[in-house]
Amino acid sequence: MKFFIDTARLDEIREAKSLGILDGVTTNPSLMAKAGIKGRENMLAHYQAIAREVAPGDVSAEVIATDYEGILREARELATLAPNIVVKIPIIADGLKAIRTLKDEGIRTNCTLIFSPGQALLAAKAGATYVSPFIGRLDDISHDGMSLISDIAVIFANYGFETQILAASIRHPMHIIESAKLGADVVTSPLKPLMALLHHPLTDRGLQKFLEDYRKAVEG
């Protein structure tokens, strides 16, 4: 299972990388804005900085265009930035067409804003490298985000699709655990839920006791 971090902030990317568990990064226009990146040239340079930081891990960079020709134009530009850039494309009709064309050109894609198994099936048929089902946003509107992951996993296994399931819109550590149990290939998480996997009160209490007992034995 791969761990990606869902952020455009270099400090957060470096912190996750320092733990030795980081396989890649996902971004989107909202995360780029949150990281304070303004202007097209700065955005492209920032994608390159992220790509250098996590190479050879994949970095998803999203297109803004919503028409076929525009998506292709942006995707080809993004793909030239670094070999580990994956172009993120929304699941709309022109996006689907573009995913097929880009697959034929050898450009890898991450099909985003997936909220139903049917959307994931279409993206896989078109040849997407990844599909990004948004778990948290479904939970937010009282739908079961995890069941989307399990439905997609069954469908992809039935037909041997190579498209990887990238569980996205992660809100808390149980989203990561449940995605792992269901066999998601990748989870992309903000830093906080990722770090929350590490902590357990019994670990803290147990470590404190070991250290106290060691001190008693050594220092009397």
Residues annotated catalytic, as ranges? 88
The residue type of 34 is: K
**Contacting ligand G3P within 161-180 (CB under 6 A):** 168-169
Cβ atoms 25, 52 nearer than 8 A:
no
**CA dist., res. 75 & res. 101, Å (int):** 11
CA 159 to chain centre: 23
- Binding to ligand G3P (CB under 6 A) within 63-122 occurs at none
DSSP for residue 58: E
In order, the DSSP letters of 166-191 are EEBS--SHHHHHHHHHTT-SEEEE-H
Q: Which is nearer to ligand G3P, 101 or 182 (CB)?
A: 182
CB of 188 to ligand G3P, least distance (A): 5
Interface region with ligand G3P, contact rule CB under 6 A, candidates 40-48, 133-141, 175-183, 209-217: 133-141
d(CA 202, CA 15) in angstroms, rounded, equals 24
| Residue 29 or 183 with smaller CB distance to ligand G3P | 29
Evaluate whether 150 touches 180 at the Cβ level (below 8 Å). no
* Token reading at 187: 């989870």
Contact indicator for 97, 77 with CB cutoff of 8 Å: no
Between 71 and 88, CB nearer to ligand G3P: 88
- Exactly one of 134, 153, 156, 187 binds ligand G3P (CB under 6 A); that residue is 134
Q: Rule CB under 6 A: is residue 26 a binding residue for ligand G3P? A: yes
- Measuring CA to CA, which residue among 199, 117, 186 is closest to residue 158? 117
Closest approach of Cβ 90 to ligand G3P, in Å?
A: 11
Specify the stretch interacting with ligand G3P by CB under 6 A; choose among 62-70, 130-138, 194-202, 205-213.
Answer: 130-138
Question: Footprint of ligand G3P on residues 188-217 (CB under 6 A)?
Answer: 188
Number of residues that bind ligand G3P (CB under 6 A): 10
Give which of 85, 55, 153 is closest to 74, Cα–Cα.
85
Backbone angles phi, psi at 55, to 5 degrees: -55, 140
Nearest to ligand G3P of 61, 101 (CB atom): 61
Provide the minimum distance between the beta carbon of 28 and ligand G3P in the complex, in angstroms, as a whole number: 5
Interface residues toward ligand G3P, by CB under 6 A: 6, 26, 28, 132, 134, 136-137, 168-169, 188
